Amino acid sequence: MDRLDAMKLFVRVAELGSFAAVAQQLGVARSVVTRQVAALETHLGVKLMVRSTRRLSLTSAGTAYLEKCRVILNLVDAAETDVAEERMAPRGHIRMSLPLSFGLKRLAPLLLEFAQCYPEVGLNMDYTDRRVNLIEEAIDLSIRITRKLDGGDVARRLGSGRMQVVAAPAYLARHGRPQHPSELIHHECLGYTSAGVVQSWQFMVAGKLESFAVRSRVQGNNGEVLTEAAAQGLGISLQPDFILDDFLAAGRVEPILTAFPAPELGIYAILPSNRHVPHRVRVLMDFLAARVGAG
Q: Write out the E strands in the chain.
A: 49-51, 56-58, 92-98, 121-127, 141-146, 154-161, 163-167, 189-194, 197-198, 201-205, 208-212, 219-220, 236-240, 254-256, 265-271
**Per-residue pLDDT, 56:** 86
Q: Strand, helix or coil at 148?
A: coil
The 10s digit of each residue's pLDDT in 59-110 is 999 999 999 998 888 888 777 777 766 667 788 999 999 999 899 989 999 9
Separation CA 244–CA 224 (nearest Å):
8
Point out which residues pair with 146 in neighbouring strands.
266
Average pLDDT of span 157-181? 95
CB distance 48 to 62 below 8 Å: yes
CB distance 36 to 9 below 8 Å: yes
- pLDDT bin (cut points 50, 70, 90) of residue 151 is confident
Separation CA 104–CA 273 (nearest Å):
26
3-86 has CATH 3.10.129.10 classification: no
Helix (H) or strand (E) holding 291: helix 279-292
* Helical pair 241-249 and 223-231, crossing angle rounded to 10 deg: 30
Q: Please state which of the ranges 17-21, 37-41, 170-174, 208-212 shows the lowest mean pLDDT.
A: 17-21
The 10s digit of each residue's pLDDT in 107-122 is 999 999 999 999 999 9
CB distance 153 to 271 below 8 Å: no
User: Alpha carbon of 287 to those of 118, 144, 271: distances in Å?
Assistant: 11, 16, 16
Residue 127 CB partners (closer than 8 Å, separation 6+): 98, 99, 100, 103, 104
The 10s digit of each residue's pLDDT in 199-241 is 789 999 999 999 998 988 888 888 999 999 999 999 999 999 9
User: 92-161+266-292 is classed in which CATH architecture?
Assistant: 3-Layer(aba) Sandwich (3.40)
**In CATH terms, are 3-86 and 163-263 the same topology?**
no
Nearest Cα neighbor of 127 from 147, 149, 150, 111 is 111
User: Would you call 198 exposed, middle or buried from its count of C-beta atoms within 10 A (0-12, 13-18, 19+)?
Assistant: middle
Helix (H) or strand (E) holding 228: helix 223-231
Q: Where are the domains of the chain?
A: 3-86, 92-161+266-292, 163-263
Name, of 23-32, 45-54, 131-140, 272-281, the range with top average pLDDT: 23-32
**Per-residue pLDDT, 148:** 81
- Reported pTM: 0.66
Backbone angles phi, psi at 14, to 5 degrees: -65, -40
163-263 has CATH 3.30.1240.10 classification: no
